[in-house]
Amino acid sequence: MLETILVALDGSEIAARVIQTLDDLVLSPETRVILCHVFSTAESEIDLPADRPQPQSLRFSTFQIEQQLQSFQEQLSVKSQIEIVAGNPAEEIIRLANIYKADLIIIGSRGLTGMTRIVLGSVSSQVVEEAVCSVWVVKPS
Which domains, and CATH codes, for the chain? 4-138 (3.40.50.620)
CB 33 within 8 A of CB 22: yes
Question: Cα Rg for the chain, rounded, in angstroms?
Answer: 15
Number of other CB atoms surrounding residue 41 within 10 Å: 17
- For residue 77, the model assigns a pLDDT of 86
Q: Determine the Cα–Cα distance for residues 68 and 62; give it in Å rounded to an integer.
A: 10
| Degrees, nearest 5: CA angle 79-15-89 | 90
- Name residue 94's amino acid: I
Higher pLDDT, 3 or 120: 3
Split at pLDDT 50, 70, 90, the class of 118 is: very low
Q: What pTM did the predictor assign?
A: 0.82
Instruction: Name 135's bridge partners.
Output: 105
- For residue 117, the model assigns a pLDDT of 45
What contacts 24+ positions apart, CB below 8 Å, involve 123-126? 123/8, 123/10, 123/89, 123/90, 123/93, 126/90
Split at pLDDT 50, 70, 90, the class of 121 is: low
